[in-house]
Amino acid sequence: MQSLLKKIIINTIVRRRIKNDKAVTNYQLAMGWRELKITFFSQLKDVALIITGIFSAAFGFKGFLLTNHFIDGGATGISLLISALTKVPLYILLPLVNIPFILLALKVVNRTFAIKTALAICGLALVVATVEFPNITNDNLLVALFGGFFLGAGIGLSVRGGAVIDGTEVLAIYLSRKLGTTMGDIIILINICIFGTAAYFLSIEIAMYSLITYLAASKTLDFIVEGLEEYIGVTIISSHNEEIRQMLINNIGRGFTVYNGKRGFGKKGESQDVDIIYTVVTRLELNKLKTEIEKIDPHSFVVMSSVRDTKGGMIKKRPLKH
């Protein structure tokens, strides 16, 4: 078993960094083993977050929204609206409505993200179809607030796991790049159309309660994924600067800025020269970036801060990597 594991590490991780047939050192093997463990537990955490998000969103649907014909924004809202008008089961509409967004994710993000998103949406449809949840309340205000809360928590947990169960954000990313507007503007325009249609076909009262549902879901989503900001500024101080720079270019697909600074330590305040790396990533890329930094240098000092918006550089020109 140990020899098989050693072969896997050498063939899948170490050989990517060694371009010749030199013997693998114990240090390289240990680094490969550490990278394999980090990757495994990172993927395990992503799966747990996505599954939890699926059940939270399904509970929001069946425990609150469906029995009262309330809707949400985005692709989820479109599915709920069509289900209320046509009586087509929601578990059929969820994958169908999101198919264009999944295909768009192949272009806007990448294949891995699109596959994870497709699996998450299909998982949500399966849970909605097979798992029974009790109808918690028929009070319209409570339905709107708590239905939105559980739905928003489900979407947020899925985003934290590296996928989405509502494809509208992918469309917003794509259109914001094409039109030069912010994601928030695009999402607001989409939801105006959805809630306007709900007011016409259902009722103004249902549309107003559905707007409360959307606000509750969006605020919960913001809380789960730590902010509305599309971009996150990341400052990295590490003794493995060159490896981190190569990782940003090759794995994340982002540019960076290097500052020359000094690092102080000890009681006497001794200082030494250090390169400080600064880059800007989207919130969908943040989880992958933290994992890659952990693989290279678990002792690096990383500071993350919200960025309202960006202009120029590689942010708008390069597709997302996740």
Residues 211 and 288 in one domain: no
Residues 245 and 290 in one domain: yes
Residues 179 and 235 in one domain: no
Residues 272 and 240 in one domain: yes
pLDDT digits (tens, 9 = 90+) for 171-222: 877 777 777 666 667 777 888 888 888 888 888 988 888 889 888 888 887 7
Residue 128 in any domain: the answer is yes
Residues 53 and 181 in one domain: yes
Residue 268 in any domain: the answer is yes
Closest listed residue to residue 312, CA positions, set 180, 204, 201: 180
Look up the CATH number of the domain holding residue 243.
3.30.70.120
Residues 269 and 176 in one domain: no
Cα Rg of the chain (Å, integer): 23
Rounded Cα distance, 320 and 109, in Å: 4
Residues 53 and 158 in one domain: yes
What is the DSSP pairing of strand 257-265 with strand 301-307? unpaired
Residues 184 and 70 in one domain: yes
Residues 117 and 176 in one domain: yes
At 13 the pLDDT is 58
pLDDT digits (tens, 9 = 90+) for 124-150: 999 999 999 988 888 989 999 999 899
79: left (phi over 0), alpha (psi -120 to 50) or beta: alpha
Residues 111 and 254 in one domain: no
At 317 the pLDDT is 42
Residue 197 in any domain: the answer is yes
Q: What's 242's DSSP letter?
A: H
User: Which two tokens mark 39?
Assistant: 């990757």
The percentage of residues in the chain with a pLDDT greater than 70, rounded to a whole number, is 81
Q: Who has greater pLDDT, 79 or 39?
A: 79
Residue 1 in any domain: the answer is no
Residues 255 and 192 in one domain: no
The domain of 295 spans: 231-307
At 322 the pLDDT is 36
Domain-terminating residue out of 222, 255, 282: 222
pTM: 0.69
| Interacting residues of 138 by C-beta distance below 8 A, sequence separation 6+ | 67, 68
Residues 62 and 172 in one domain: yes
Quick one: average pLDDT of 294-298?
88
Q: What is the mean pLDDT of the chain?
A: 81
Domain-terminating residue out of 222, 248, 271: 222
Confidence band, pLDDT 50/70/90 cuts, at residue 226: low
Give Dmax (Cα) for the chain: 74
pLDDT digits (tens, 9 = 90+) for 15-45: 555 555 566 667 766 777 777 778 788 889 9
Total domains in the fold of the chain: 2
pLDDT of 2 > 90? The answer is no
pLDDT digits (tens, 9 = 90+) for 280-290: 888 778 888 88
